Structure 1
Amino acid sequence: MEKWQCTICGYIYDPSVGDPSQGISPGTPFDKLPDNWVCPECGATKDMFEKI
């Protein structure tokens, strides 16, 4: 699965890990994250992420 990086703080969303801090299960691809999901490090919105 593709990883995505926050262009503000550099946080990398890894689908194999998910985001336990926001209840996102491992295996959740970036495009399936809720629209209101934000970067757990800096609070940036999904549109501030780039595929890496």
Structure 2
Amino acid sequence: MTTTETRAFRCYMCLICGFIYDEAQGYPQEGIAPGTRWEDVPMNWTCPECAARKDDFELVQI
């Protein structure tokens, strides 16, 4: 018997400007498909609002 665990999509907020990255929505404008998990977003991706690095984002509960 195999158990498949599905994790709910999460949101991450830019600590610099407040932009929210929602895993469920992705960011298609920059080639990040809906459903893309935060850990799968490229390390060189930057905030589309203020160009902050991925390290400047924090998990938030919405």
TM-score (norm 2): 0.80
Aligned residue number for residue 15 of structure 1:
23
When the two structures are aligned, how many residues end up with a matched partner? 52
Identity, % of aligned pairs?
50
Q: Which has the larger radius of gyration?
A: 2
2:39 to 31, 36, 48: 31
Higher relative contact order (CA 8 A, sep 6+): 1
1:40 to 20, 31, 48: 48
TM-score (norm 1): 0.94
Say what the alpha-carbon RMSD is for the aligned residues.
0.6
Q: CA deviation at 1:21?
A: 1.8
Q: Structure 2 unaligned segments of length 5 or more: list them.
A: 1-8
Deviations 1:1-52 (A, max 9, x none): 1100000000000011101121000000111101111111111100000000
Runs of 4+ in 1 over 6 A off after TM superposition: none
